Amino acid sequence: MLQKAVFSELSPVKPKKLQVSSDKSTAEIKRETARRLKRKIFPTINLIFRILAASNQFAMRIKYFLLSFLLFIGISFRALADEGMWLPILLQSLNEKEMQDMGFRLTAEDIYSINNGSMKDAVVLFGGGCTAEIVSDQGLILTNHHCGYGSIQSHSSVEFDYLTNGFWAMSKEQELSNPGLKATILVRMEDVTASVLEKVNRGMTEAQRQDAIEKAIAKIESESVKGTHYKAQVKSFYYGNEFYLMVYEVFEDVRLVGAPPSSIGKFGGDTDNWMWPRHTGDFSVFRIYANKDNKPAAYSKDNVPYKPKYSFPISLMGVKEDDFTFVFGYPGTTEHFTVSEGVKIITEDENPIAIGLRRMRMDVMEKYMKTDPAIRIQYSNKIAGIANYWKKMIGESKGIRQWNGIERKQAIENDFMETLRRNTEAMEKYRTLLSDMEETYKNLRPYSLAFTYFYEGAYSIEALRYAYGFTTYVNECIADPSSTKLPALREKLQKSAEGYFKNYNIDIDREIAMLIFPMLKNMGSSMLPSAWSQLDTKYNGDWTQATNAIYSTSCFVSLEKTNDFLALKPKKVKRMIAKDPMYQLAEGFFNMYFDVIEPSRSQYNSQLDSLYRIYVAAVRELKLSERLYPDANSTLRVAYGKVKGFEAADAVGYSYFTTADGILQKEDPTIDDYYVDPKLKEMVLNKDYGRYADADGTLHTGFIATNHTTGGNSGSPVLNANGQLVGINFDRVWEGTMSDLMFDPNKCRNVSLDIRYCLWVIDKFAGAGYLIDEMTIVK
């Protein structure tokens, strides 16, 4: 009965002739075809998976057919989808025609040029993990509020609460310096694969191969910037099958110019994070400074605003559905080549552990932050960092599960093996490749889980992490109490202590530790330090009592106790440290990580890296896909697509844009995430939008598109077909966060701040219109 019912639902129907308008481009025709196919086929695929779950016997009989069928559909869609993070140096050969077919009105040379100023010269690697864009000839840059959050917090206090109230420099003299913050601009990119692999041969071991590559890279990096102030970096692509040289100019004087209040810059908070619709004014404004020769220099009052080779013009025209857009930025990490076993470990093992441990920490922080404004300022940046990927991991695992991601990966692997069976030479080379990868993942799994508990658990306990920072000093005291190194080590620790405890609350840390310590037993007895086991035995598993004892006796839980410890004579340090339970735990956990967990984890990850290098080379050799883009690795990339809404679930569909009216609809004075500034509310009620209003009379706050983005793209410029700035990328929709592993063209959407809302806040709300005067505005 089951089989009969299945084939009744799968029975063929007479296909309708596809009607195509003569004025549509080839790319648009392909996309229309794909959309219609997906509406017909995806429901069938999901039905089959449900039936397979109900009938293992039937599943075995049609498994091969299903996997091959699914693979065919998956690959077909991959060629048509707006997936990919492409190297700008290769756009002309790989992407330019498709981009122009989709509506792009410029050329690849306008995006990336060596001989002339181009868009690449206005894209900035902001700090260590965000993107920004230059929008004036005076070095003014825009990025996300959450990217500038740490800098804003560093200047904030209860008296000057820039996080809550915002900050606006009304002249360049009022702009605030940010020690340690860097702005990095790409000068050029070059394929150096041949030079890197010149000394590599097939007879080498992996260690020998890596050594030859590292020596070649060091030589290339050194020679490429010799006699200049530039910085060089060679990065691996396609798991070591290709290598590219990046030459950068790194600016060290980056000053805070403006930031909206958190009620705008963080509107929706953690509640709306990774979600759509969004109404967050997620932006902040900085300025790059250089010396009088327009070159990077450390902060100095004599520095002047940087004169860029290019700055983005800004469009006030907004976007409409199906408009072409592209994102130009520094995406951090993706793993789209990952095989099914790897996806399973990430989404079914690691993510659930991390999600639970992060939720514990956030619950404690939120409780205390509600009681005291000073604590709220102390922990605002910390909780933001924890919450960001907590929610992302939830969406990622859910997305893979709902899209049958593991089954889809298995289908791709099945096709790989079928291709090998038809190719005797390839079969000889790659016969055991996938089984070797599966076996390596199984060996890696216990160490991967132990690392997750260590990093998300033990490492997250602030006092434990802080105590480990004293090991160099402690070991020197024990080895040689008269060492001449001790005064400098002690002074460094004394100076850093005050800054550390400025943002530390012992009650929060202690309560988190009470919850975390008992969870660490899941690391496995062979990977737990003896200090943990001894405390577990001593207190009969009562970690509330144990934690209270730890925090009452440790030297590393207050500034006063830490200074007292540093004041001890070196000869007394050994005895004191032996009695400090926090230090013993810190040393134990970190030693276990460095001596047991990480060596094995590195061993198996290195094996996987080698296997993935072979796998990716095989996929390219066998031509299993029309085009393959390299995984993101914090290098400059272009992603392109169309402005488009999406269907999140059955009967749940979303428009492509939001407006300021939605801010008032979400307003809830009892919830911090939805507090609305009275001034903003009045302006919205009065429709006081000026030239920033859309043609429909509303003020658009955000929009979504099919551009493929990830972490690191935060702050990236979102550009229209003319290369004009129309938005600032700041998030992805929750339903599509699995795009780091797999890209679902139906649900993966990047979320952007509409640039008109950003400018409206700067100009009309903050009264900093002089900044707008610096920009090139296109009406």
Distance from C-alpha of 391 to C-alpha of 74, rounded to nearest angstrom: 27
Chain mean position to CA 180: 21
Distances (CA, A) of 277 to 321, 483, 648: 15, 61, 11
Residue 731 annotated in active site: no
Can you count the helices (H) and strands (E) in the chain? Answer: 32, 22
Integer Rg of the chain from CA: 28
Which one is catalytic: 262, 714, 739, 752? 714
Dmax (CA) for the chain in angstroms is 90
Distance from C-alpha of 501 to C-alpha of 503, rounded to nearest angstrom: 5
Residue 282 annotated in active site: yes
- Token pair for 650: 């059955």
- Token pair for 131: 């993107």
Say if CB 763 and CB 772 are below 8 A apart.
yes
SS3 content of the chain, % helix, strand, coil (to 5): 55, 15, 30
Residues 6+ apart with CB under 8 A from 226: none
Which one is catalytic: 82, 118, 136, 146? 146
Which one is catalytic: 282, 323, 580, 754? 282
Residue 336 annotated in active site: no
The H or E element that residue 57 is part of is helix 56-80
Distance from C-alpha of 156 to C-alpha of 651, rounded to nearest angstrom: 45
Q: Say whether 331 sits in a helix, a strand or coil.
A: coil
Distances (CA, A) of 126 to 66, 619, 676, 739: 46, 34, 29, 23
Residues 6+ apart with CB under 8 A from 682: 688
Residues 6+ apart with CB under 8 A from 131: 123, 124, 125, 143, 329, 330, 712, 713, 714, 715, 716, 717, 729
- Token pair for 280: 């967050």
Residue indicated by tokens 């679902």: 744
Distance from C-alpha of 448 to C-alpha of 523, rounded to nearest angstrom: 10
Say if CB 377 and CB 157 are below 8 A apart.
yes
User: Are β-strands 717-719 and 725-732 bridged in parallel, bridged antiparallel, or unpaired?
Assistant: antiparallel
Say if CB 112 and CB 695 are below 8 A apart.
no
- Token pair for 699: 């003020």
Distance from C-alpha of 491 to C-alpha of 488, rounded to nearest angstrom: 5
Chain mean position to CA 315: 27
Distance from C-alpha of 468 to C-alpha of 734, rounded to nearest angstrom: 36
Q: Say whether 691 sits in a helix, a strand or coil.
A: helix
A 10 A CB-CB count for 5 gives 10
Say if CB 3 and CB 58 are below 8 A apart.
yes
Distance from C-alpha of 715 to C-alpha of 338, rounded to nearest angstrom: 27
- Token pair for 570: 């070196």
Distance from C-alpha of 236 to C-alpha of 232, rounded to nearest angstrom: 14
The total number of residues written for the chain in this structure: 779
Q: Which among 22, 25, 27, 20 has a CA at the least distance from the CA of 79? A: 27
Say if CB 107 and CB 119 are below 8 A apart.
no
- Token pair for 515: 């919850």
Q: How is residue 630 annotated by DSSP?
A: P
User: Are β-strands 130-134 and 140-143 bridged in parallel, bridged antiparallel, or unpaired?
Assistant: antiparallel
Just list the catalytic residues. 146, 282, 714
